[in-house]
Amino acid sequence: MCGSIRVFGTSDVMFRTPGGAVGLVLTLALIALAILANSLAPADPFASVAQPLSPPSRAHSFGTDDLGRDVLTGVIHGARTSLLVAASVTALAALIGISVGALAGYRVGVVDDALMRVTDFVLIMPRFFLAVVVIALFGAGIDRLILVLGLTSWPAIARVVRAQTLSLVRREFVDAARALGATDTRVLLRYVLPGALPPALVVISMNAAGVILLEAGLSFIGLGDPSRMSWGYLANNAQRFLRVAWWVAVFPGAAIALAVLGLNLLGDALNDRLDPRAPRQT
């Protein structure tokens, strides 16, 4: 009970900082937009609803694009695509990274060396261009995008978990658990991973921000899923009209910037709170 109270207390302290509070608000806003997209903007984001390239007005707060589609509706539904890709890729990368890092840190020797060489190989692979090649070969699709980004986004997580695991397996409480007959699986899952996961959360949150940028970049160059509205898709369509319709590019671009800023600030706040060298508030 005391441990749980302590965890919630440290979270409250962390989000009292301006950066942490802003990051939390922006991230929650992104999640809310994605979840409530159909309620906030029930219209089809691909439907033409007004005159093309109409400036922002009371009827259309963000204006319309070259096909008469409401930009606000597109931005709201684009949040769902960005969150779906970011959450799916992050979950897949976290699963692989935590598993590889924990096993490598716990099995020092041949297993550790082999897993770290694989990690190094994946780490140097250019994710953006690999995604371009996969989409060019197999066609655009959000499932392919999630798979290729998820399978190439885990090395940083694995490195952090491995470093923490190497430190924790030498602690006295791990020796005590082994002396009491705990199996390796129980030691790893019950005593080692809970201590290795908090620093990995920082990398995971930063990774999610990078995924949003990658998805937007791929959609911007026309390699996103054409059946889904996304911020990169809106920005791609806006290229030809930057001089005559600023709103078509500004609002999707601002949405991307705010989402990435929120996740980065959240990651910085977590890092400051979990860094043992950082000053602690009481």
Cα(100)–Cα(259) distance, integer angstroms: 29
| pLDDT at residue number 116 | 93
128, 214 contact by CB (below 8 A): yes
Q: Does residue 179 lie in a domain region?
A: yes
Q: Does residue 12 lie in a domain region?
A: no
Q: What Å distances lie between residue 97 and 17, 100, 115, 179, 280, CA to CA?
A: 29, 5, 11, 29, 29
147, 211 contact by CB (below 8 A): no
Band (pLDDT 50/70/90 cuts) for residue 277 is: very low
Domain residue limits at 104:
18-47+59-274
Q: Does residue 266 lie in a domain region?
A: yes
Token pair of 227 as six digits: 């059946």
The model's pLDDT over 181-230, given as tens digits with 9 standing for 90+, comes to 778 788 888 888 888 888 888 899 889 999 999 889 888 888 888 888 99
Q: Does residue 1 lie in a domain region?
A: no
Q: Does residue 155 lie in a domain region?
A: yes
Sign of the Cα torsion 205, 208, 209, 210 reads positive
Q: Does residue 90 lie in a domain region?
A: yes
- CATH of residue 88's domain is 1.10.3720.10
The residues facing 64 across adjacent strands are 70
Supply the mean pLDDT for the chain. 85
Cα(66)–Cα(51) distance, integer angstroms: 8
Count the domains in the chain: 1
Q: Does residue 6 lie in a domain region?
A: no
Band (pLDDT 50/70/90 cuts) for residue 14 is: low
How remote is the C-alpha of 72 from its chain's centroid? 23
Q: Does residue 165 lie in a domain region?
A: yes
